[in-house]
Amino acid sequence: MAGRPGHPRRRPETPLGDKGYDSHANRRELRKRRILPVISRKGSPNIKGLGKLRYVVEQTFALLHQFKRLAIRWERRTELHDGFVSLACSLICWRRLKKHRS
């Protein structure tokens, strides 16, 4: 079979960025790739709801980094690392479910 292994790459619809990513070069590059940038502009109020969406992602990364093996990647093989990430996600969900039920 021709082509690269794995799932075909997809273009994100709209990446969310805070004011640190506000530059003409970043916006121009995203538009060149036909991606609509959602980036707060410097000197203007924040985009409403952007913080809520970013918080979920940052919180998930923080929870995953509780597992030292994921914070410092020891595995060379991608399959092993992916397996540990899946296991960590399962443990996080199980803990949340257990905490929610009690």
Single out the residue of 101, 56, 64, 102 nearest to residue 81, CA to CA.
64
Number of structural domains found in the chain: 2
**Tens digit of each residue's pLDDT (9 = 90 or more) over 51-76:** 666 667 778 888 888 887 777 777 78
51 and 72 inside one domain = no
Q: Other C-beta atoms within 10 Å of 54: how many?
A: 13
49 and 82 inside one domain = no
Structure-block tokens of residue 8: 């075909």
The mean predicted confidence, pLDDT, of the chain is 79
The pLDDT score that the predictor gives to residue 47 is: 63
Low-confidence ranges of the chain (pLDDT < 70): 1-3, 45-55, 102
Separation of alpha carbons 18 and 41, rounded Å: 8
Structure-block tokens of residue 58: 């940052």
Instruction: Tell me, yes or no, whether 2 lies in a domain.
Output: no
Instruction: Tell me, yes or no, whether 5 lies in a domain.
Output: no
46 and 72 inside one domain = no
Q: Which range marks the domain in which residue 72 is found?
A: 65-102
